[in-house]
Chains A and B, each alone.
Chain A
Amino acid sequence: MRWKDRFNFIRQNMKKNKSRVFMTILATSIGCAFLIVLASVGFGAQRFIVNDIMADRAVTEVSIYGKEGENPEITEDDIEAFQEMEDVKAVSHKIALQNEPAVLVDDYSGPASVSAVDFSSEKKAGLNLSEGRMPEAENEVLIGYHLDQYLTEDSDPEEDIYNEEGVVKEEYRIDKSLLNETIQLEVEQYKEDEWVTETFPLEVVGIMEEPARDWRKSRDLYISEGVLSNIEAFTGTEYGALIDPAMREEDRESLQSESQQRTYNEVQVIADNMEQVESISQQLKDEGYHIYSVTEELDQINIVFAVVKTGLIIVGTIALLIASIGIYNTMSMAVTERTQDIGIMKAIGGHPRMIRSIFLMESGYIGLMGAFVGVAVAYLVSIGINMVLPFVIQQVFDQTLDEVIQLSYIPPYLALICVVLSIGVAMLSGLKPAKKATKIDVLSALRRDV
């Protein structure tokens, strides 16, 4: 029997009892929809958390905090060693200025967190600008996206000039872009029993990209190591460290003594791609470095979620199993109803194998239809949940969500899993009725109305 004919045959058979078939498909589709929606919450939560982790850190990044041994700091030798490693794209290394300098533009001033960076490494490491270009000359600098929002005119200290986000209120802000402006970096130091200040003129040539997270404000100022050296020359301390007049003499001296090599306090090794992060991490660990990479965290999270999702799918499958009882019933009824037809078919040469396949296909078809409808319903429910959820949270917890939370997420393969499960379960429950059909005795079937 041709497949097309079998299919037609099944369709005709199903038409004979539309409402029963419809109800069975309905039960199956509810089971499927339940399974998918349940599991989609697991998928949604995982996606939300994984996205959250990856939002502000590149996946290909391995942060290095120090190393074992006498000198835990990362030195230039280490950086060179990292750069020599296989599959390493770039090594981002920054030195934070240990001072609290102010940025001055016209009459405005404000704080900045200043780091000395190697711009060519940063560029390779994937530093992106929202405006301008990378610095070339020694006194050219990059500024954080929000630095201008921290600048303010000298004003009445009584007045509250900061808004709830922690930046200067708009009416007090400087009303021009800092791009291509010359800014003054004012550094303070306690020298010979008095406070002295020195300003360093810097040319802003680029503004960095906005941080991935909305609530994060960047007031970074990236200077070249040349500028850092100039600052150090003025402060007389390494990394521009501030001397506190209350400090003991020996502490002061240790700040002023010169060490052989610069050490870096923010070092990241950037891998060529995500697959290599693990091997690089392992190699660095073996060499005694203290490291962190997102993939390590992701691995653990993914394991936890794999367990959660499997659990949810199993629970959802129970719904499908209940639906399969309905399919079993429907198919048993169909076989009983069609006993005479089957008897006739067998009497004139119908092969038992063909009869079994027809009934198996029929139950499989119910599973397939149920799965299709179920997937469609699940997608609708999922969209509904995601739309209603922020509203519910707002009402119940009285909180607004900055980020869009997707509670329910249906990856295509989840829908596929459900379709396969549904057809499988349906065919399994159709197995016994189909076998019963092949066992129908021709004579007793034919004698029915004799």
Chain B
Amino acid sequence: MIKVDNLSHSFYVGKKNNRQEVPVLRDINLEINEGEIVSVVGRSGSGKSTLLNLMSGYIKPTEGDLYIKGERVTDYKESQWADFRAEHLGFIFQSFQLIPSMSAYQNIELPLVMKGVAEKERKQMVDIMLERVGLSDYSDHYPSELSGGQQQRVSVARALIVNPPIILADEPTGSLDQETEKELLDFIQKLNKEENITFVIITHDEEVAEIANRTIRLEDGKLLADREVVGK
């Protein structure tokens, strides 16, 4: 599903004539299969967020190749990435990243609006999705009027609405209390089992790592360990 081939990424700091390369990721090789839940762990600065940003197309790798769904996306232009994201990827963020001036309904609807789905069809899909995440009564609420857990559910609903085969999640439970965290993780497992959605989850939370089939550990930009969780 996702193939990372000798991937390296560096930041550059300093002025033009005195530029210094700061490597963030070095020669990462890994393959993520369809239907897997992969957790990426590591201390801050280990490069796990950079790995996810590369997979999302927010930044370009310095070296190496990246394949998603068999397509080489390494050299994709911004507009190609936009179409690719809209078609194949769902995103969940630590701070939810909901648009504050839009209601829960409108936030979930947004990907469909951008895709050009007809209004009638949209309404059906969003209503079903609201029910699935248990927010039917909150459709008109704005993000500021929702709890953290509810906001994250809106964000999950927004990611799911276009039926992506892959969902990339950056610390999805980072802003949640234990109870809502468990709810979210159960939901992720359910989606994985029922709809065979592939999850890549960045976390430093052991409980999240527990639901994963595989855990990838990064340290100083290098792949330290890639092991299957026993019993999964």
Interface residues, chain A, CB within 8 Å of chain B?
1-2, 4-5, 9, 12, 16, 340-341, 344-354, 442-443, 446, 449-450
Contacts and interface: CB of A to CB of B under 8 A. Distances in A.
Contacts, number: 72
B91 A348 contact: yes
Contacts of A352: 78-79, 82
B70 interface: no
Interface in B83-128: 83, 85-87, 89, 91, 93-95, 97-101, 110-111, 113-116, 118-119
Interface of B: 53, 56, 58-59, 78-79, 82-83, 85-87, 89, 91, 93-95, 97-101, 110-111, 113-116, 118-119, 158-159, 162
B101 A346 contact: no
Q: Lowest 10 CB-CB distances: which A-B pairs, in order?
A: A349-B86, A349-B85, A351-B82, A442-B58, A341-B99, A5-B113, A344-B97, A2-B116, A443-B58, A1-B114
B83 A446 contact: no
A353 B98 CA distance: 22
Nearest to B99: A341
Residue in A12, A346, A446 with the greatest tally of chain B CB atoms within 10 Å:
A446
A346 B58 CA distance: 9
A34 to B, nearest CB: 35
Contact of A349 (B58, B94, B111, B119): B111
Contact of B94 (A9, A16, A443, A450): A450
A340 B97 CA distance: 8
Question: Chain A: interface secondary structure?
Answer: helix
B92 to A, nearest CB: 10
B82 A350 contact: yes
A355 to B, nearest CB: 9
Contacts of A346: 82
Contacts of B113: 1-2, 5, 9
Given A340-B100, A345-B99, A450-B95, 12 more contacts: A1-B114, A1-B115, A345-B114, A347-B56, A347-B85, A348-B86, A348-B110, A348-B158, A349-B85, A349-B114, A352-B82, A446-B93
B83 A349 contact: yes
A344 B98 CA distance: 7
Given A341-B99, A446-B97, A347 B91 contact: yes
A12 B142 CA distance: 14
Contact of B101 (A1, A12, A350): A12
Given A16-B101, A341-B101, A1 B116 contact: yes
B203 to A, nearest CB: 15
A348 B85 contact: yes
A376 to B, nearest CB: 31
Contacts of B89: 349
19 contacts: A1-B113, A1-B116, A16-B101, A347-B56, A347-B58, A347-B91, A348-B86, A348-B114, A349-B83, A349-B111, A349-B114, A349-B115, A349-B162, A350-B82, A350-B86, A351-B79, A351-B82, A351-B83, A442-B58
Given A5-B113, A16-B101, A443 B59 contact: yes
